[in-house]
Chain A
Amino acid sequence: MSAEAPVIETRELSKVYPGRPPKTALDRLTLSVNRGEVFGYLGPNGAGKTTTIKLLLDLIRPTSGSVSLFGLDANRDSVAIRRRVGFLPGELNLWDNQTSLEVIRYFGRVRGSLDMSYVKTLAERLDFDLTRKIRTYSTGNKRKLGLILAFMNRPELLILDEPTTGLDPLVQQTFYQMVQEARAEGRTVFMSSHVLSEVQAICERVGIIRNGRLQTVERVDALTQVDFRWVSLRLRDPVPPDALAHVPGVSDVVVNGNTVQLRLTGDFDPLLRALSNTYVQDMRVQEPTLEEIFLAYYSDTPPVNNQRRFATSNRGAAR
């Protein structure tokens, strides 16, 4: 495989579950993830994230299309692929009457190698007790065990399904560091999430999926530079509620006395012209958060309600 070849590559990948009616879980997904990249796969529950991951791991078979990892066919070469992959499922279910150490040793034997000193290092970093039985663990501790199982063989590719669900903020930070270290070592991370802040924190590119269809793939920084922003105005005199509603590019106008909040798409000029006869005491502009962009992909209606937007704008103003 050449250095430029993607680690993950899907072409027109579809999965339809039989039933009445059949359910299209994934619809013609074409996606590639490059070596050394931390790729975020965003979508709400039922969007097709887990289906994609199961297809990558050959746990389920595509209805049509192809999927390859490291240039190898996901079905034909699945064992060779899985030797190079660490996987964290969305919900980790293991054998309740086994201890973590027993599970780790079992997985190590199946993989053919186990570096116990590295396992202990991971356990210490995650503040995790390896000696207890699985049934005694909280959701967060099960998640930690899942992370140890995924990371313990230093795989070339980490496939993580909702990795931070149930983790407390301190452990989340440790997880972010682990991902950054993996990336620094040239390893690739493919992680699904609906937690946008973590994608913003650690991912370079993000794919957004909705109803089984990939909506977009963008760099995280490019995605935040979409052509709309929130504008907050403080005027000297109160304005009528519909004063700015008909200005081109302006929407979601909320008037509260002499304060106006609005969403502006496109240039500022129409808004400034509309305000030319108004005394503006203060004007603040805030870029949309990734969450707002994310929601915008899922809805034809405005991405956030007015109350939410006020809070967002005020936070932006405070910053």
Chain B
Amino acid sequence: MRGAVFFETLRRSWQSMLWWGLGLGALAFLVIIIVPDVQVLEQMARMMETLPPILIQALGGGDIAYMATPEGYLSVQYFGFILLIFAVYAVISGLNVTANDEERGTLDVVLSLPLPRERLVLEKFLAYALLTVGIIAISFVCMWAAILLTPALAIDLNKLVIANINILPSTLLVLSVTILLSSVLRRRSHTIALASAFVIASYFLDTLGRAAPDTILEPLGYLSFFRYYDVVGIMQHGITWSNVLLLLAATAFFLATGVWFFRRRDVGL
């Protein structure tokens, strides 16, 4: 029956989604609630000025004046690194699509059912996409509650919504890359190693590329999905649709390639 895998994945993972959402929400809540007034933001921005450029870039910054605004503060202190945590969630979820079941020996039984392989992968992908939306939504609610309790951080709600939605395409990309790696490598440990390497390499490519604009690292930064995440740009200028479309197109490509491999190969280790 269509949707059986999708709903089963939701049934098994909604509690996990709740904890991830609340955990990240608590983090956002703390990051916001500790700001007593805007002067603190200005002090922090001045302090950042003293840091080496690479560290400023690593913290997601660049425009120091902007860093002194509530949007800039959230860009650096929350959105700047939160994608790394979502990437971890995406790798864990991606392993649950085929790799964990294959390593455990469960995939044989599941695929002995009248279930096309592509449907198994696609329904799980959609379920984890929805769960990611759930985590973002829960953490957003916590974030908004903190902002209501912190008058010093007056942020436009629309910007905050967009910045949160902006997490989704990059997370889906990491999810699809993990699915592809699981399909090709089969083994959980190999998939974890390469997916982690992909995320970490992407992070440093972007950071180093921004910190060293006149070197070979600068163009290489465009190979990183973090470059298209660009939360500072989104907070300042709104959503960049070309970035979103590029991330979604890459997601579709990796997912389709993963399904293609998975359909053709032997199952079981």
Contacts and interface: CB of A to CB of B under 8 A. Distances in A.
Interface of A: 54, 57, 59-61, 79-80, 82-83, 85, 87, 89, 91-95, 98, 106-107, 109-112, 149
Contacts, number: 66
A59 B113 contact: no
B112 A110 contact: no
29 contacts: A57-B111, A59-B111, A59-B112, A60-B267, A61-B265, A61-B266, A79-B114, A79-B115, A80-B114, A82-B112, A82-B113, A82-B114, A85-B112, A87-B109, A89-B109, A89-B112, A92-B109, A93-B104, A93-B105, A95-B12, A95-B106, A106-B4, A107-B113, A110-B113, A110-B115, A111-B114, A112-B1, A112-B114, A149-B109
B71 to A, nearest CB: 42
B108 A59 contact: yes
Interface of B: 1, 4-5, 7-8, 12, 104-106, 108-116, 264-268
Given A60-B267, A79-B114, A79-B116, A109 B105 contact: no
Q: Which of B1, B109, B115, B116 lies at the interface centre, i.e. has the most chain A CB atoms within 10 A of its CB?
A: B109
Nearest to A60: B266
Contacts of B105: 89, 91, 93
B267 A94 contact: no
A91 B7 CA distance: 26
Q: Which of B108, B112, B114, B265 lies at the interface centre, i.e. has the most chain A CB atoms within 10 A of its CB?
A: B112
Contacts of A80: 114
Contacts of A61: 264-266
Contacts of B5: 110
B96 to A, nearest CB: 10
Nearest to B115: A110
Given A59-B267, A83-B114, 13 more contacts: A59-B111, A59-B268, A60-B268, A61-B265, A79-B115, A80-B114, A87-B109, A89-B108, A89-B112, A93-B106, A98-B12, A107-B113, A112-B114
Nearest to B107: A59
A180 B7 CA distance: 37
B3 to A, nearest CB: 8
B4 A109 contact: yes
Contacts of B4: 106, 109-110
Contacts of B106: 93-95
B112 A87 contact: yes
Contacts of A94: 106, 109
B205 to A, nearest CB: 34
Contacts of A91: 105
Nearest to A96: B104
Contacts of B267: 54, 59-60
A113 to B, nearest CB: 9
Contacts of B116: 79
A235 to B, nearest CB: 57
B111 to A, nearest CB: 6
B1 A111 contact: yes
A247 B113 CA distance: 58
Nearest to B2: A112
Nearest to A95: B106
Contacts of A83: 114
A57 B112 contact: yes
A283 B265 CA distance: 60
A149 B112 CA distance: 11
A87 B114 CA distance: 11
A92 B105 CA distance: 8
Nearest to B268: A59
Contacts of A92: 109
A107 B109 CA distance: 10
Contacts of A110: 1, 4-5, 110, 113-115
Contacts of B112: 57, 59, 82, 85, 87, 89
Nearest to B103: A93
Contacts of B108: 54, 57, 59, 89
A106 B114 contact: no
Contacts of A112: 1, 114
B1 A54 contact: no
A95 B114 CA distance: 19
Contacts of B1: 109-112
A80 B114 CA distance: 7
Contacts of B268: 54, 59-60
A28 to B, nearest CB: 19
B266 A111 contact: no
B36 to A, nearest CB: 44
A106 B12 CA distance: 11
A61 B263 CA distance: 11
A302 B256 CA distance: 57
A106 B109 contact: no
Contacts of A60: 266-268
A110 B8 CA distance: 10
A188 to B, nearest CB: 16
